[in-house]
Structure 1
Amino acid sequence: MGFTALETERLELAEIGQQHKENIYQILSRDDVMQYYGTDKFTDPEQAAAMIQSFSKGFESGMAARWGIILKESGELVGTIGIHNWNKRVGRAEIGYELHPDHWRKGIAKEAVHAVLDHSFNELGIFRMGAVVFPENEVSLGMLQKIGFQKEGLLRAYLHQGGRPHDSFMLSLLKTEWKV
């Protein structure tokens, strides 16, 4: 099965390639983006190249899928969104995303999440979508809860960033709860 591009009113969700290395680096090297990402910020563009390669390997192994969030209007890649920890046998995955701050609070992340959830529930056979979020990331928590995700609990010392462990919330949305 090949990679499936997705489309929304304003966005193209496309396969990420090495041509996107600079955009990915510009996003993931920012303190404000990486504050709640779960890993440290990038300090070298080759880290972006390695990440793009890992996206391809994750898809080839059937464990993940990652799309570039591209604005139709400009053709610019402004973030990524994807599913990981994908267990096809039980129909479970987790969603994650990041966006360049120039595009925060414009509904872009929500639009991309809707497209990936719709595809995941209706085409990929996923029944349970999880999301792991820093408790301090109130904007992302709020958006996910408005979409219908439910907070399940606190995962103690689940993420490691900045040389120390961090707690995170686990949220989930079931296919039977999904309303477009």
Structure 2
Amino acid sequence: MDFQELGTDRLMLVQITDEYIDRYYAIMSKDEVTKYYGMPSLTEREQAENIVRSFRDNFAVKKSMRWGIIWKETDAFIGTVGLNNWSPYSRKAEVGYELDPAFWRKGITSEAVSAVVDYAFRGLGLYRLGAVTFPQNEASSGLLRRLGFQEEGVLRGYLFHHDQNHDALMFSLLRHEYLKEEY
């Protein structure tokens, strides 16, 4: 299966190659980006190299699919969006994303996630998309609700961040809900 690039009015969603390592590192080394990410901020470029390599490796074995978010206006790499815990057999995955803070509050994440959700249901034939957020991450929870995701409940102690376990909110969207089909 080839990697499918996606496009929206303002964005290109592309495969993340080595040319984007420095920009990925710059974004993921910011504490405000990783505050609710479930991993510490990156402190060395080599960490970014390893993560970008894992994006490629995990796509090759159909475990995840991660796109770089390119702002068309300037051709800048501004974040990533993707499908984690992808199981083609079970027809499910979880959506994840992060964005450079300079681009927050412009509807960019919503635009990128919407494109990935549409591709997941129409292009990959998935049945369920999930998303996990920190309860304190109101921006992410609000975005998921606006896109039609339903809050399923609390996963107690699910996320490990800054040397302690944290609860997480679990959201989901099912194919028939998205496509407005009868179940």
User: TM-score normalized by structure 1?
Assistant: 0.98
Q: Which residue of 2 aligns with 1:157?
A: 157
Taking the aligned partners of 1:57 and 1:167, their CA distance within structure 2 comes to 29
Describe the SS at the equivalent of 1:143: helix
| Count of equivalent residues | 180
Describe the SS at the equivalent of 2:131: strand
> What are the residue-to-residue correspondences of 1:49-88 with 2, within 5 Å?
49-88=49-88
Taking the aligned partners of 1:80 and 1:179, their CA distance within structure 2 comes to 25
CA-to-aligned-CA distance 1:6-38 (integer Å, 9 cap, x gap): 000000000001110111011100110000001
| Paired amino acid for 1:102 | A
Runs of 4+, deviation exceeding 3 Å: none
> What are the residue-to-residue correspondences of 1:126-141 with 2, within 5 Å?
126-141=126-141
Taking the aligned partners of 1:80 and 1:42, their CA distance within structure 2 comes to 15
Taking the aligned partners of 1:40 and 1:70, their CA distance within structure 2 comes to 24
1:137, distance to aligned residue in structure 2 (A): 0.2
Taking the aligned partners of 1:36 and 1:122, their CA distance within structure 2 comes to 29
CA-to-aligned-CA distance 1:83-137 (integer Å, 9 cap, x gap): 0111111211000000000000000000001100000000101110000000000
Q: Which residue of 2 aligns with 1:112?
A: 112
Q: Which residue of 1 aligns with 2:14?
A: 14
1:67, distance to aligned residue in structure 2 (A): 0.1
1:179, distance to aligned residue in structure 2 (A): 5.2
| Paired amino acid for 1:26 | A
CA-atom RMSD in angstroms: 1.0
Taking the aligned partners of 2:177 and 2:78, their CA distance within structure 1 comes to 29
* Percent identity of equivalent pairs: 46
